Amino acid sequence: MRILTGVQPSGKLHLGNYFSVIRKLVDYQNKSDLFCFVADLHALTTFSSAKSQTENTYDAVCDFLALGIDPNKCAFWIQSEVPEVTELTWYLSMSITVPKLELAHSYKDKVAKGIVPSGGLFFYPVLMAADILAFNSDKVPVGKDQKQHLEYARDIAEKFNSQYGETFKLPEPEIDEETAIVPGVDGAKMSKSYGNTINFFDDEKKLKKSVMGILTDSAGVDESKDYEKSIIYSIHSLFLDESGKKDLQSRFTNPGTGYGDLKKALLETILDYFGPYRKEREKIAADPTYVRSVMKKGSDKARAASSQILDKVREKLGIGISKVSA
């Protein structure tokens, strides 16, 4: 079973990324054939400077390595270092229409906000389909917001198969309902683009600021609080097992604990949980030679796998003249 996923390096990792995708990946690399990459080409759709593009990519790589992605157990690479994917993007673009691409949420939402869309933004779902189809992926773990992109990948694969003959497997999305949408500090979906994230690799001071900024109602210390409606609870419960959740629930319902204390408890949980990863991250980030060598190994693995699919695709499309005989 090949499992593939990508994470866009357009900022620091947050709890939404961690609980929907990253935590599972470490598990998958022991049980399955895991393919995982840093989607730096997709990040160009929100480009600000070359410096931050490079830094964000390096940061994301270090984050994943520190969180336990083991290059010996999976294929882990940087998207732009596997050019087969961009080549496949072009081939796949013949298997989707402009009216269909105009329906993509990622594109429509930006247009609705008055942003003049680039061609790259419009093509985003095609590049993502290529990411997935270039590796014959069976399963793609993502957050709920990526559901439509997975549908595009399947549609494109089906259309290509019907146009040129059976070539691609149809990938299945894997969306974990419980952690499908992790709320941000304001209650909306936690997202870099909304500025409402809790970035677990931030220093303690910044983390504290984020956690203390979580929106609450006005219930006082002596009042019972509705944990089901609380953002603090929604986030904290992600770290807890059933008995931990019960304990936390009673701290909400029994009067005597204020929101300030509940936030402090959450902050402590975050610091404890990510403490060891934070130390590991510092070590890794200080050794770019090691990081580069690991990523080269990863892209070699990924290129070997995608080359096989690309050979098939080129043949189906009659690309090149290597097969012409006298």
Q: Write out the binding residues for ATP.
A: 8-10, 16-17, 143-145, 182, 189-193
Pick one of 16, 71, 125, 173: the residue that binds ligand ADP (CB under 6 A).
16
Pick one of 60, 78, 128, 294: the residue that binds ligand TRP (CB under 6 A).
128
- Contact between 63 and ligand TRP by CB under 6 A: the answer reads no
- Contact between 8 and ligand TRP by CB under 6 A: the answer reads yes
- Interface stretch with ligand ADP, choices 68-76, 181-189, 210-218, 307-315 (CB under 6 A): 181-189
State the nearest-atom distance from the C-beta of 142 to ligand ADP, in Å: 4
- Interface stretch with ligand ADP, choices 55-63, 191-199, 238-246, 252-260 (CB under 6 A): 191-199
- Contact between 211 and ligand TRP by CB under 6 A: the answer reads no
The β-bridge relationship of strands 33-38 and 172-174 is unpaired
Contact of residue 189 among ligand TRP, ligand ADP, none (CB under 5-8 Å per partner type): ligand ADP
- As given in the structure block, the two tokens for residue 174 are 């894997």
Alpha carbon distance 88, 95 (integer Å): 11
Q: Which residue ranges make up the annotated binding site for L-tryptophan?
A: 131
Q: Which residue ranges make up the annotated binding site?
A: 8-10, 16-17, 131, 143-145, 182, 189-193
Contact of residue 57 among ligand ADP, ligand TRP, none (CB under 5-8 Å per partner type): none
Q: How far is CA 124 from CA 35, 95, 142, 211, 213, in A?
A: 20, 14, 16, 33, 33
With beta carbons less than 8 A apart as the criterion, state whether 24 and 157 touch. Answer: no
- As given in the structure block, the two tokens for residue 216 are 């609450």
Alpha-carbon dihedral of residues 147, 152, 157, 158, nearest 10 degrees? 100
| Residue 207 CA neighbour count, 13 Å, CB half | 22
Residue 37's nearest CA partner among 66, 3, 1, 11 is: 3
Pick one of 110, 154, 192, 303: the residue that binds ligand ADP (CB under 6 A).
192
Considering Cα of 130, then 132, then 138, then 139, what sign does the dihedral take? Answer: negative
Identify the three-state secondary structure at position 73: coil
Q: Where on the chain is the footprint of ligand ADP (CB under 6 A)? A: 7-8, 16-17, 20-21, 142-143, 145-146, 181-182, 189-193
